[in-house]
């Protein structure tokens, strides 16, 4: 390529061609009118709009000859673009630069050439508009030059228009092929443009909607000034998004999300909106909220949701009642019948209870077997009690769980606002104190919150903390209460009873700490410590030469749940080398009636080994002799409430008589508890009771005191016989 035919800034020139989407493009009819006009105006047979690429010259339009695509070096236009003004070659044959060019010798046989450079807005020479004749022209007037220059300028304008048209077409194709529904409106919020997706979304044709107010489809938010402000405030780079209701042309509405953007167009401000139908998303959100608020097993509200509802009820200031429910035997159901049945039970419970609740009540499951009921607006304790009662009554008939008829009980605690707390947490916590009381009372009952429950609970917790220390510092001690034969007055056994030698409060009895202990994790270590201590004591006495009698040890329910019962007992008998018959395990109703097969098997094994088993406090609970038949027993301990009243209450005496005779029919020993008077002992003996225990024979006492009542093997076989005098001497 000759030096003369390249511009100074060739790369910028080519970039300008590319920017206008003209580089190496084919001819286009849109320029035909101009070349024809040029040819007629200048009376030449041929005219071209030619562009000069890096190597080639190519026509965008040609008149009187076919469009060319020739080497740049073989063109005259390549020279024309180096000029500031129109380039004229009057006779090509007279110019040796052109004389031998193919286009001169062949083709259009160009003798005359006049070309005006096509100059871009940025000053780059893109090509030339040229007219060509096959004969030489002597002159090309100034007027003609000016005309050709103007026509060239028109061609350049057309380049720019063409690019905009192409760009618009691209944008439109893009807009119509996207799934997004796009609408643009003018400053008066009249719809100017709407793409295919938007037509689909609003269920209409182009003619139905272009030119109409945006209000037609966005009834709530189409106030133009506000839209514009919102759109422009979003600075168009980040569109502003909001949710609203959109309306199809037939009037149906749907929830929509609108993303607005705004710009200043040539005709003033304009707004673009992308519209999304968010019905599905809202439905999904709703079900997520639902999921977050529901207990999956029962479909009831969960604790979180319950808290939120309670907050709302409190904000209403109309009062509310919170009832907490805990199933009484749920753990047993789970253990014995399996977790699947447990789950079914919870579901059945959750389905039944709401039927018994007043309108507006909300039931929730807090977890495991804990449920709660919110009664918004219920502020009357009597009515609250009636609801709690209704829940208890609802459980009168059994639940049918996979063929099992389950009679489940529940404990309820409730708190009533105003009065029982300010915040949701406080009210729930207070209802929980009441629930604890209901549990303590043996279940199947409801309790209302009372302020002192709070302080009791605090002291219970304090006691539990203190018990940790007590166990560590050996503050727990055992006292032993003698049991005597009612026939002979001889000592025939003893019961180990726990005491707490408190450093500041003195000697504490079980009623001060046993409830706290039983509900703490310490119950198990303390329980096993008692057993160990009793065995150790028996071994010590044996070593000291005393004739041993059986010792009763009270068990905590938790010791049965650990499934190491047999092992734990056998280990200690073995360690201290004691015959099993010296040990009498005392169980209460909680244990014996729990229907826990595991506990039952363990007790049977122990009994087979020779360990004695006594049923404690008979007559205070639900247990009847027949209900105890499944449970392995050797001894029945008649509760001291019977003994206390039998002298004055003929009914109690009759029951005691019946119990004793039935027990002996079943081969059970009977021990009467709480004998304080000789008359009681005498009556019991007459009724057939074999042995007794009570203050009359001796209060629970330290081991060294009890030792005095034991018989030394070495001594003569004289038995220690209790008399009133001796009793007085001991205390």
Report the alpha-carbon distance of residue 58 to residue 250 in Å, rounded. Answer: 55
Q: Is 220 exposed, middle or buried (0-12, 13-18, 19+ CB in 10 A)?
A: middle
Contact stretch for ligand C2E (CB under 6 A) within 211-219, 298-306, 620-628, 667-675? 667-675
Q: Which is nearer to Mg ion, 616 or 669 (CB)?
A: 616
Q: Does residue 586 interact with Mg ion by CB under 5 A? A: yes
Q: Minimum distance between the CB of residue 493 and Mg ion, rounded to whole angstroms?
A: 12
Total number of residues shown for the chain: 731
Strands (E), 240-319: 240-247, 253-265, 268-277
Whether the CB-CB separation of 17 and 51 falls below 8 Å is answered with yes
Subset of 557-596 contacting ligand C2E (CB under 6 A): 586
| Contacting residue, 695, 705, 719, 726, with ligand C2E by CB under 6 A | 695
Q: Which is nearer to ligand C2E, 34 or 675 (CB)?
A: 675
Q: Which is nearer to ligand C2E, 262 or 522 (CB)?
A: 522
Subset of 464-523 contacting ligand C2E (CB under 6 A): 481, 496-498, 509-511, 514
Q: Is 195 exposed, middle or buried (0-12, 13-18, 19+ CB in 10 A)?
A: buried
Q: Which is nearer to Mg ion, 414 or 642 (CB)?
A: 642
Q: Which is nearer to ligand C2E, 195 or 634 (CB)?
A: 634
Count CA atoms within 13 Å of residue 207 on its CB side: 0
Instruction: Say how many residues touch ligand C2E, by CB under 6 A.
Output: 25
Side by side, which strands form the sheet with 445-448?
A: 362-367, 370-376, 320-327, 410-417, 445-448
Q: Minimum distance between the CB of residue 586 and Mg ion, rounded to whole angstroms?
A: 4
Q: Minimum distance between the CB of residue 598 and Mg ion, rounded to whole angstroms?
A: 23
Q: Minimum distance between the CB of residue 336 and ligand C2E, rounded to whole angstroms?
A: 23
Q: Which is nearer to ligand C2E, 101 or 551 (CB)?
A: 551
| Contacting residue, 298, 554, 594, 612, with Mg ion by CB under 5 A | 554
Subset of 595-654 contacting ligand C2E (CB under 6 A): 616-617, 640
Subset of 667-696 contacting Mg ion (CB under 5 A): 673
The CA-based angle 304-306-309, given to 5 degrees, is 115
Q: Pick from ligand C2E, Mg ion, none: which does 334 bind, CB < 5 to 8 A by kind?
A: none
Whether the CB-CB separation of 156 and 127 falls below 8 Å is answered with no
Q: Which two tokens stand for residue 434?
A: 């009441």
Q: Minimum distance between the CB of residue 554 and Mg ion, rounded to whole angstroms?
A: 4
Subset of 247-266 contacting Mg ion (CB under 5 A): none
Q: Minimum distance between the CB of residue 628 and Mg ion, rounded to whole angstroms?
A: 15
Count CA atoms within 13 Å of residue 483 on its CB side: 25
| Contacting residue, 555, 636, 638, 706, with ligand C2E by CB under 6 A | 555
Q: Minimum distance between the CB of residue 478 and ligand C2E, rounded to whole angstroms?
A: 7
Q: Which is nearer to ligand C2E, 378 or 497 (CB)?
A: 497
Contact stretch for ligand C2E (CB under 6 A) within 37-45, 269-277, 446-454, 672-680? 672-680
Report the alpha-carbon distance of residue 701 to residue 696 in Å, rounded. Answer: 13
Q: Minimum distance between the CB of residue 652 and ligand C2E, rounded to whole angstroms?
A: 16
| Contacting residue, 617, 645, 652, 676, with Mg ion by CB under 5 A | 617
Report the alpha-carbon distance of residue 225 to residue 472 in Å, rounded. Answer: 79
How does strand 612-618 pair with strand 583-587?
parallel
Q: Minimum distance between the CB of residue 537 and ligand C2E, rounded to whole angstroms?
A: 13
| 277 cis-preceded (ω within 30 degrees of 0) | no
Q: Which is nearer to Mg ion, 45 or 510 (CB)?
A: 510
Report the alpha-carbon distance of residue 706 to residue 433 in Å, rounded. Answer: 41
Nearest residue to 152 via CA among 107, 55, 85: 85
Q: Minimum distance between the CB of residue 624 and ligand C2E, rounded to whole angstroms?
A: 19
Q: Minimum distance between the CB of residue 669 and ligand C2E, rounded to whole angstroms?
A: 16
Q: Does residue 343 interact with Mg ion by CB under 5 A? A: no
Contact stretch for Mg ion (CB under 5 A) within 217-225, 243-251, 282-290, 616-624? 616-624
Whether the CB-CB separation of 531 and 478 falls below 8 Å is answered with no
Contact string (CB under 5 A) for Mg ion, positions 495-534, x = contact: ----------------------------------------
Nearest residue to 637 via CA among 674, 683, 680: 674
3-state secondary structure 164-193: HHHHHHHHHHHHHHCCCEEEEEECCCEEEE
Q: Which is nearer to ligand C2E, 460 or 640 (CB)?
A: 640
| Contacting residue, 61, 124, 430, 554, with ligand C2E by CB under 6 A | 554
Q: Minimum distance between the CB of residue 312 and Mg ion, rounded to whole angstroms?
A: 50
Strands (E), 19-72: 46-52, 56-63, 69-71
Q: Pick from Mg ion, ligand C2E, none: which does 160 bind, CB < 5 to 8 A by kind?
A: none
DSSP symbol at 669:
E
Q: Minimum distance between the CB of residue 440 and ligand C2E, rounded to whole angstroms?
A: 14
Long-range contacts of 576-582 (CB under 8 A, 24+ apart): 576/535, 576/536, 576/538, 576/539, 577/539, 578/535, 578/538, 578/539, 578/542, 579/610, 580/606, 580/609, 580/610, 580/611, 581/550, 581/610, 581/611, 581/612, 582/538, 582/548, 582/549, 582/550, 582/551
Binding site for ligand C2E (CB under 6 A): 481, 496-498, 509-511, 514, 527, 530, 554-556, 586, 616-617, 640, 673-676, 693-695, 700
Binding site for Mg ion (CB under 5 A): 554, 586, 616-617, 673
């Amino acid at each position: 390529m000759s030096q003369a035919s390249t511009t100074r800034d060739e790369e910028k020139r080519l970039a300008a061609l590319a920017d206008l989407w003209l580089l190496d493009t084919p001819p286009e009819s849109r320029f035909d009118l101009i070349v024809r006009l040029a040819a007629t105006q200048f009376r030449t047979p041929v005219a071209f709009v030619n562009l000069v690429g890096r190597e080639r010259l190519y026509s965008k339009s040609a008149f009187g000859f076919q469009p060319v695509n020739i080497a740049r070096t073989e063109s005259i236009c390549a020279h024309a673009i180096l000029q500031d003004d129109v380039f004229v070659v009057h006779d090509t044959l007279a110019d040796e630069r052109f004389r031998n060019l193919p286009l001169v010798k062949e083709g259009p046989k160009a003798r005359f050439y006049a070309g005006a450079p096509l100059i871009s807005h940025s000053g780059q020479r893109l090509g030339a508009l040229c007219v060509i004749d096959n004969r030489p022209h002597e002159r090309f007037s100034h007027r003609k030059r000016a005309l050709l220059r103007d026509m060239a300028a028109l061609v350049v304008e057309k380049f720019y228009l063409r690019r905009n048209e192409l760009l618009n077409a691209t944008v439109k194709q893009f807009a119509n092929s996207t799934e997004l529904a796009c609408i643009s409106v003018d400053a008066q919020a009249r719809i100017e443009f709407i793409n295919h997706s938007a037509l689909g979304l609003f269920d209409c044709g182009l003619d139905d909607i272009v030119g109409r107010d945006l209000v037609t489809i966005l009834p709530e938010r189409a106030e133009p000034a506000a839209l514009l402000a919102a759109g422009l405030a979003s600075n168009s780079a980040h569109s502003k998004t909001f949710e609203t209701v959109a309306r199809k042309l037939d009037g149906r509405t749907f929830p929509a999300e609108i993303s607005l953007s705004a710009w200043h167009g040539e005709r003033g401000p304009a707004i673009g909106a992308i519209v999304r139908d968010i019905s599905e998303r809202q439905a999904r959100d709703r079900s997520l909220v639902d999921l977050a608020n529901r207990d999956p097993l029962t479909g009831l509200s969960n604790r979180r949701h319950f808290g939120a509802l309670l907050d709302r009820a409190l904000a209403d200031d109309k009062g509310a009642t919170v009832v907490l429910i805990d199933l009484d035997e749920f753990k047993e159901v789970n253990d014995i019948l399996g977790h699947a049945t447990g789950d079914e039970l919870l579901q059945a419970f959750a389905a039944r209870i709401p039927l018994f609740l007043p309108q507006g009540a909300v039931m929730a499951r807090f977890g495991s077997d804990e449920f709660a009921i919110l009664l918004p607006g219920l502020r009357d304790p009597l009515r609250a009690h009636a609801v709690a009662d209704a829940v208890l009554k609802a459980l009168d008939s059994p639940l049918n769980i996979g063929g099992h008829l389950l009679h489940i009980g529940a404990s309820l605690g409730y708190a009533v606002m105003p009065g029982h707390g300010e915040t949701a947490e406080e009210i729930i916590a207070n209802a929980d104190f009441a629930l604890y009381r209901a549990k303590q009372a043996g279940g199947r009952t409801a309790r209302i919150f009372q302020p002192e429950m709070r302080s009791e609970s605090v002291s219970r917790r304090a006691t539990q903390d203190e018990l940790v220390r007590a166990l560590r510092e050996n503050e727990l001690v055992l006292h032993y209460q003698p049991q005597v034969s009612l026939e002979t007055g001889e000592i025939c056994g003893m019961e180990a009873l726990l005491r707490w030698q408190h450093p500041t409060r003195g000697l504490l009895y079980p009623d001060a700490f046993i409830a706290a202990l039983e509900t703490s994790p310490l119950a198990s270590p303390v329980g096993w410590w008692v057993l160990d201590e009793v065995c150790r004591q028996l071994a010590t006495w044996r070593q000291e030469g005393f004739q041993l009698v059986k010792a009763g040890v009270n068990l905590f329910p938790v010791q049965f749940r650990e499934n190491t019962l047999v092992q734990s007992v056998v280990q200690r008998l073995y360690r201290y080398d004691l015959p099993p018959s010296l040990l009498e395990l005392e169980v209460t109703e909680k244990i014996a009636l729990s229907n826990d097969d595991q506990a039952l098997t363990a007790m049977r094994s122990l009994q087979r080994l020779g360990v004695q088993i006594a049923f404690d406090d008979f007559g205070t609970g639900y247990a009847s002799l027949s209900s105890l038949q499944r449970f392995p027993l050797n001894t029945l301990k008649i509760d001291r409430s019977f003994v206390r009243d039998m002298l004055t209450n003929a009914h109690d005496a009759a029951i005691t008589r019946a119990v004793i005779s039935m027990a002996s029919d079943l081969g059970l020993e009977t021990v009467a508890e709480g004998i304080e008077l000789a008359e009681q002992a005498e009556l019991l003996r007459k009724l057939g009771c074999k042995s007794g225990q009570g203050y009359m024979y001796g209060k629970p006492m330290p081991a060294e005191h009890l030792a005095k009542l034991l018989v030394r093997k070495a001594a003569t076989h004289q038995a220690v016989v209790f008399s009133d005098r001796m009793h007085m001497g001991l205390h």
